[in-house]
Protein backbone atom coordinates (compact mmCIF):
# COMPACT_ATOMS: atom_id res chain seq x y z
CA UNK A 1 0.00 0.00 0.00
CA UNK A 2 1.34 3.45 -0.92
CA UNK A 3 2.07 5.92 1.82
CA UNK A 4 1.78 9.06 -0.31
CA UNK A 5 0.15 12.24 0.92
CA UNK A 6 -3.63 12.33 0.40
CA UNK A 7 -3.25 15.82 -1.11
CA UNK A 8 -0.33 14.87 -3.38
CA UNK A 9 -2.11 15.86 -6.59
CA UNK A 10 -3.60 19.14 -5.35
CA UNK A 11 -0.39 20.16 -3.59
CA UNK A 12 1.73 19.37 -6.65
CA UNK A 13 -0.60 21.22 -8.99
CA UNK A 14 -0.87 24.29 -6.78
CA UNK A 15 2.90 24.59 -6.35
CA UNK A 16 3.95 23.85 -9.94
CA UNK A 17 5.41 26.90 -11.65
CA UNK A 18 4.71 28.94 -8.50
CA UNK A 19 0.96 28.49 -8.86
CA UNK A 20 0.73 29.66 -12.47
CA UNK A 21 -0.51 26.27 -13.70
CA UNK A 22 -3.33 26.17 -11.14
CA UNK A 23 -4.32 29.76 -11.97
CA UNK A 24 -4.40 29.01 -15.70
CA UNK A 25 -6.54 25.93 -15.06
CA UNK A 26 -8.93 28.02 -12.97
CA UNK A 27 -9.21 30.58 -15.78
CA UNK A 28 -9.77 27.81 -18.35
CA UNK A 29 -12.43 26.18 -16.16
CA UNK A 30 -14.25 29.51 -15.74
CA UNK A 31 -14.17 30.03 -19.52
CA UNK A 32 -15.47 26.51 -20.08
CA UNK A 33 -18.32 27.02 -17.62
CA UNK A 34 -19.35 30.28 -19.30
CA UNK A 35 -19.29 28.66 -22.75
CA UNK A 36 -21.34 25.67 -21.55
CA UNK A 37 -23.88 28.02 -19.97
CA UNK A 38 -24.05 30.23 -23.08
CA UNK A 39 -24.40 27.41 -25.61
CA UNK A 40 -26.08 24.62 -23.64
CA UNK A 41 -23.47 22.24 -25.10
CA UNK A 42 -20.71 20.25 -23.45
CA UNK A 43 -17.00 21.01 -23.47
CA UNK A 44 -13.85 19.56 -21.97
CA UNK A 45 -10.81 20.71 -20.04
CA UNK A 46 -8.00 18.18 -20.12
CA UNK A 47 -4.86 18.22 -17.97
CA UNK A 48 -1.94 16.04 -19.03
CA UNK A 49 1.05 15.76 -16.71
CA UNK A 50 4.27 14.45 -18.24
CA UNK A 51 6.74 13.26 -15.60
CA UNK A 52 10.34 12.79 -16.68
CA UNK A 53 13.21 11.57 -14.47
CA UNK A 54 15.90 14.25 -14.28
CA UNK A 55 18.30 12.69 -11.81
CA UNK A 56 17.83 9.17 -10.55
CA UNK A 57 20.54 9.70 -7.92
CA UNK A 58 18.68 12.59 -6.26
CA UNK A 59 15.13 11.51 -7.10
CA UNK A 60 14.48 14.73 -9.03
CA UNK A 61 11.75 14.66 -11.68
CA UNK A 62 10.56 17.24 -14.15
CA UNK A 63 6.81 17.71 -14.56
CA UNK A 64 5.26 19.42 -17.55
CA UNK A 65 1.58 20.36 -17.46
CA UNK A 66 -0.25 20.48 -20.75
CA UNK A 67 -3.84 21.71 -20.75
CA UNK A 68 -6.35 21.52 -23.57
CA UNK A 69 -9.56 23.51 -23.47
CA UNK A 70 -12.32 22.55 -25.88
CA UNK A 71 -15.09 25.00 -25.15
CA UNK A 72 -18.33 24.73 -27.10
CA UNK A 73 -18.78 27.46 -29.67
CA UNK A 74 -21.85 29.43 -30.64
CA UNK A 75 -23.00 28.47 -34.12
CA UNK A 76 -21.78 30.88 -36.76
CA UNK A 77 -24.28 32.90 -38.76
CA UNK A 78 -24.81 31.61 -42.26
CA UNK A 79 -24.51 33.96 -45.23
CA UNK A 80 -26.66 33.05 -48.21
CA UNK A 81 -24.95 33.83 -51.48
CA UNK A 82 -25.68 33.11 -55.13
CA UNK A 83 -23.20 31.86 -57.68
CA UNK A 84 -23.07 33.80 -60.91
CA UNK A 85 -22.57 32.02 -64.24
CA UNK A 86 -18.92 33.15 -64.25
CA UNK A 87 -18.23 31.60 -60.82
CA UNK A 88 -18.43 34.66 -58.56
CA UNK A 89 -20.61 35.13 -55.49
CA UNK A 90 -23.16 37.84 -54.83
CA UNK A 91 -26.00 38.45 -52.38
CA UNK A 92 -28.73 38.91 -55.02
CA UNK A 93 -30.01 36.06 -57.16
CA UNK A 94 -28.56 36.76 -60.63
CA UNK A 95 -31.56 35.01 -62.27
CA UNK A 96 -34.11 37.31 -60.65
CA UNK A 97 -35.03 40.53 -62.39
CA UNK A 98 -34.91 43.77 -60.43
CA UNK A 99 -38.15 45.63 -59.91
CA UNK A 100 -38.09 49.27 -60.87
CA UNK A 101 -40.26 51.46 -58.70
CA UNK A 102 -41.33 54.89 -59.92
CA UNK A 103 -43.25 57.65 -58.17
CA UNK A 104 -46.65 58.37 -59.75
CA UNK A 105 -47.96 61.86 -60.33
CA UNK A 106 -50.56 62.92 -57.81
CA UNK A 107 -49.36 60.45 -55.18
CA UNK A 108 -48.65 62.33 -51.99
CA UNK A 109 -45.45 61.45 -50.27
CA UNK A 110 -45.91 60.64 -46.62
CA UNK A 111 -44.03 63.18 -44.57
CA UNK A 112 -42.96 62.43 -41.02
CA UNK A 113 -44.87 64.27 -38.32
CA UNK A 114 -42.75 66.71 -36.37
CA UNK A 115 -42.79 66.32 -32.59
CA UNK A 116 -44.55 69.67 -32.08
CA UNK A 117 -47.31 68.67 -34.52
CA UNK A 118 -47.94 65.25 -32.98
CA UNK A 119 -51.01 64.95 -30.77
CA UNK A 120 -50.28 65.06 -27.05
CA UNK A 121 -50.73 61.79 -25.19
CA UNK A 122 -53.95 61.53 -23.23
CA UNK A 123 -53.81 61.24 -19.49
CA UNK A 124 -54.84 57.89 -18.10
CA UNK A 125 -57.87 58.18 -15.85
CA UNK A 126 -57.90 55.98 -12.80
CA UNK A 127 -61.13 54.46 -11.58
Whether the CB-CB separation of 39 and 74 falls below 8 Å is answered with yes
Q: For residue 14, tell me if it sits in a domain.
A: yes
28 Cβ partners below 8 Å, 6+ apart?
45, 67, 69
Number of folded domains in the chain? 1
Q: For residue 40, tell me if it sits in a domain.
A: yes
Q: For residue 33, tell me if it sits in a domain.
A: yes
Q: What angle do CA 117, 120, 123 make, to 5 degrees?
A: 175
Parent domain of 56: 8-70
Q: Counting beta carbons within 10 angstroms of the beta carbon of residue 21, is it exposed (0 to 12), middle (13 to 18) or buried (19 or more)?
A: buried
Q: For residue 92, tell me if it sits in a domain.
A: no
Q: What are residue 8's phi and psi, to 5 degrees?
A: -55, -45
Question: Is the pLDDT reported for residue 127 higher than 60?
Answer: no
Q: For residue 18, tell me if it sits in a domain.
A: yes
What pLDDT does residue 12 have? Answer: 94
What pLDDT does residue 114 have? Answer: 61
What pLDDT does residue 87 have? Answer: 85
Of the listed ranges 24-28, 44-48, 81-85, the least confidently predicted one is 81-85
Amino acid sequence: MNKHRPDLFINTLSTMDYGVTANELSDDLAELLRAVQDTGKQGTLTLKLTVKPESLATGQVGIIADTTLKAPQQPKDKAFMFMTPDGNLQREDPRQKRLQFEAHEGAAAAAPIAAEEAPAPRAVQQA
